[in-house]
Structure 1
């Protein structure tokens, strides 16, 4: 082999060794020496060759010098070859080579090259395995790390599920690795100590826990496990690999389990049951104070922990009445290791303990046992006492009318008393040994009896009713009180039952159920009637409220007079309906009594249509009514019910008609002597109905679909009420309708004809001037003008008046003096009328009549007054006649009024004193006084109203508007009164404050106009 080839081979061999054997330092070192020796040998050879060639060209001296030099070089070469042999022999020993001095060096080199190739193939497989291993590790939840001791580098293989905010960066360092910075300082010593032990060769694997702090600041517990995967020849670790596992949830659960265990330990220690817990080796693990008390052990329970339990048993044996028996049974329990429950142990001092033995197995491995002790001395004494009492009461029951029976677990009769024999019809010898279920229980009660037997086995007692068979009948009913039956050892041996014959009671109960059904039908009829009437009250109420609002906006001219007539008609209709609701006798009869009075059909139809005409015009509908001229001027019947029918039908037509017209025609169908048969036709161009729905039109609570109620309201009672009323008047009603084309209703009614004298006569008599003489009336009103009005009216009838401005003064006045009646306002400062009434009824316990006077004449106000304890209700502004009639009613005095006097309409657009003059009976001095009070209060109230709005005190704004409303109505200043009512009734939100400001400005404008006008008309007013 040439020198150059040898050198090339050496370099190639060196590269191959470094490439394929990077980790085996021992082999690298030996081979490196071998290569160096080869290298040195060929260098020496080359030098020798050059020297030899040079020798032929040199002198003899030079030759001698060269020869000496060659000897030295040969000697060095010999040493190098010897060293090479030793290296090869070492390598040979590691690889089972057979080499001697005669072997050719090139063969060895060829062999080494072959070994290197094989090593390369093995390393390729190793690298592939390593790649697969790292791929597998990257898919698991744990974080894999690797530490290389020679380079002191640590690498993390962080996967997507990693709990660490790390990447695959290698952290370099010596003693203070960057990784350790994430470990909490107080736990860092654990990691340091682990690596120290690795470097000292003390451990080859580890498993430790410590806390780390992540980038987000959170702290979590991790489990660090790992081990050495490569070591040097000297035994030092080269590489360790490990995993980091998130065990925070485990730590949380472990903490909860520890807390639970502590709670359980605390519970066991404080139980009133003696507890002794032993481990598998017979040592005390836990006991409690009750255990030490039972057996008289000195010291605390903790002093017993860890001692041999056999010592406890031996020291406790003398305490038992039968020591040998206690010792033997205890040993058997420990030997058998089977649970034992409710074992009784009699003590030498007379006590009786109940013991339970519970062996503890975990994964089928015995881990100890638990003893529990209970003192049942009192219970045993009670059982003995109970047994004696049982004999006593058994004899008592035997002489009572209660059947006693005892059966075993198979329901075979063991004992019966005489009463049971009488109930069942059997003799005692006929019952003993028989099966009670077979003898008495019917098939439909078999399941019930099985259920009761199961409950007896669970120790439950109960009572139940059952229809049974007796010797003579199968219609008897028994009330059975059953309970489990135990023997002296508290073993369940059967059941005991006490029986009561309740056949007569069941008959009465059946009759009661039938009576209840009848009563429920009656109640249903009442509820239905009330629902019908409640529905019908709504129509005239709408008319009253609607026309009242119209009236408040206008002066008392011809239009106002028309509105008043409409209100009067609606009020009469409403009064009739209310009277029917409150007339209990009519409800009991299941019908409404019809009036038989004279009426004018033309006037009736006109008045009914006037109430609804405005509603039709608001929807843009053409509304026409007509009465045939040949209809008699006076007919006899019930005009209120006719009006109710017409109002209902017309309301429906207007409600369900969006465009077109609604018409009412009253035609003469037949004209007979003394009778007329009329046909009333109401038609519209509304939405109409399907033919299928027409069949159910008159059913109660019937509507064509759910959208009707959502879109139009109503309960579906209207047409049912109409049909009942028409049929009650011996008439008939039919309906024709087509979807989308409108509806036509035809009513046939027959009436007796009458004369003018048959029309109702109005009572023109007048009330007695002193009907309220010697009566003391307490007026509770915070508005001064209202107090003046009421006082003026009542004094004219002889009443003595006392005034109070709030509920507190009213309560104090009633405590101090006697009154005949109280007129109570509702809204007042300090204490309102409702609260004052409650105090008068509950605290003072006075039954004095109380009449509510309030401007809130809306639905629900009267119910509030009655619930508070008031007797009646009158809305303001009130008429003189209504007030006197109501007071006289509750004082037991009758009144008679004629037609109310009216005052001619004035042309004054702002105010009118007609009502005030009527109240004061033309007393000019008093009128001036009233006007003076009105001006003072109204100016003050208006200023306060503006101030309250500026302060955004909306509650005060509404209260002031309420106070001034009554005074404005009394002077017929309807424009301002209407504004005041709007201010009072509206729910003002912040975004509506500009609108409220406009209302207050309009109110002030009217007041600023009317007060100067009053001052001009009455110059005698003082300012």
Structure 2
């Protein structure tokens, strides 16, 4: 029976009778084949939807392989069974059982196939979902068909078109690869074909639609092979690594820079990889270990070879090898390991293991030559030991305390100072032990300062073990530990007990010295008063006597009296000038002057005296000396007058000469040599050494024969040095003397010279005024009465302050002339009584013989209105009284005409007062020059010190002198300064007035000096 028949008969048991067995069986078999082919298609679709998760893909792939294998085995078994049935003629075969087994088996296989389909669909859904969440492009290449399929998701950053490349044999994928990189892809596929590789990972650039290029990472592997082992399908991914490449480029550049830095670093560097081979080293490393060649020649060498070849360089080779091996094995950082070299050097080594993602990738060695540092440390340690020894044994006591003032360390000197042994001090509280109760608060404040990091020094009376009268100088500072934490204080102590005793002695000596200075000042004041009091009478009466008709002999006697009195006055002025210089109260002007005119005017004053003695008097000024220099012409004149006077005084015959030579000229400066020479008596060489000492004269006969105080040359030297100059004296006994002064002056211009200012003041007459003269010296009362009666004043007298108060209480007076030093009650106390008890504002003018500095201020503070020192000039007295009685009348400047100019000043008023006495006029001009210059300088100093009261007083004092010479503009300015109500906000305006006053005075003084010289001749 045929197989078909047998199969039909068996199947009919399970199928309807009219069912055609062979047709349905063939259909069933065909369905099985279709199911298998559907499975193959599903598998391909699955491969196309390759997921980013390789692990999941491999699991699903293995499961599909197992299912395919089972399906293939079942179909093969079915075919074998059917073929067996078809070829069998054995009618005894149990056909029903066999066919039933086949049908059951086929039904079972169909059920398993359905389950696999469901599993495949679920896996496919998971894979597609996974593909949609990743950025990579999944691809599959089929070698037999040479087609490439892409799974491009929406998030893909590659600009690829699946429709263009998928399955298109003409458009090969690598045609989008940049031409220079295309050989990489071709070579990779060739290796797959040859069986050399089964997976790959390569990088190359691809072109996108917009023409730009990007770097791609291509990874993949074989998923199916043919029976002969050739690859059939490759699946892989494309990853955009452009950003990585950009970063890699930056890292490469940075690495290059770092490499360059390491190569040129002054630290020896050795970089090894995980295999112990040299990756990088530098020149310093090769220098340290004397390796020949450049550092590049060491790259790739086994580092163990380097270690072994350099062991001879080390002082302890075995130790070096052992430690190096231990570090490499431990892979732990090592810092500041010292290596002693055989040649005496000391190297410092650091070991740094390198890990990337917890994977060991190599290590870095750094070497530094610390030989000099070690030598310095050794030296420092020796010095530290030395200084510790010094501190331990020095005379300065050293103590360290903690924050609670507990003693932690003391040196031997501190023990000696305090009287305690070291074991008695350690642990004790320093404050409780040494600080007295009255100093507790101060010490607490010092400890607070230490908390803020401040150091200071202070003196303190302390308790020691055996005494409570010791003084210590304590220098304290905060104490820190190695971590810069404040842990206490450190103090250095010096026993200054003896110094404190000396200090007390010095303080007592200072008090004695101050008393001595006060006694000196008092002596000068008394001397000035005692000498000036009779001098006032002598000069005053001499002036009055000159107004009478005298015969020739009487006139001669009077001149002798006047000369003697003037010489005595010069002595007094020298003493006072010297006191000012010693006190540093003399200041210098800096105004424009003409050296030619100054020297000429000075010589005119003294030329007459020289000619009277029959001496030749020569004056020479070098033509190169600038027309205008800037300095103090008045002090220069004082120096020249003093030196020329000495030369004339000590020269009996011959000549006296003054030469002004140009020593050196610079663009803005000239240095002058002023040489004064004579043929006088000269000096011994031994005396020259003491020439400039105060009160110095060669012998007692000098004072007897020539007079003087011995202060002149001392004053000259101090004035020259005050002008930053030098003075040198050469002399030989019996041959004369040469004095050379070297001074430097800035060059000036015509604008720096004082300008003339025309002004005019009309004189006033004093009359019908009642004046109270308070004076204990009868001669001075007579002088005052004689002078004042001539001007029509009514005079009353009082011999002391008490009488003056009584007279003022019972009588009316217009003004008071008050002496200062009087018995019973002095002038200052009397003035205070007048102002306070009598509440009187009557003008009081001080007439005092005390001309020392500060006397005027005392008078003003006591309530006096003005001050006049004795001996006074008649004109000064009348001018001062007239001013305070309001008897001055000022006129404005006289109008100029085209033909003549009104002079800046005139002597009409002065001649009227002196009745034409030229000698008196000369004296008045000399006094005006001296006092006005000094007063103006003092006024400017008072303004700088903001002493406005003193400024007004000095302006008041100058005003009368200016008006007597008809210097109207200056007198008007002085009056504004005196009577102005100057507040702080008005100081700029006051300063302008003072500057204006200075300009007028600077203009008029040279003119007055010229007239003075002319009159004197």
TM-score by length of 1: 0.36
TM-score by length of 2: 0.36
State the structure with more CA Rg. Answer: 2
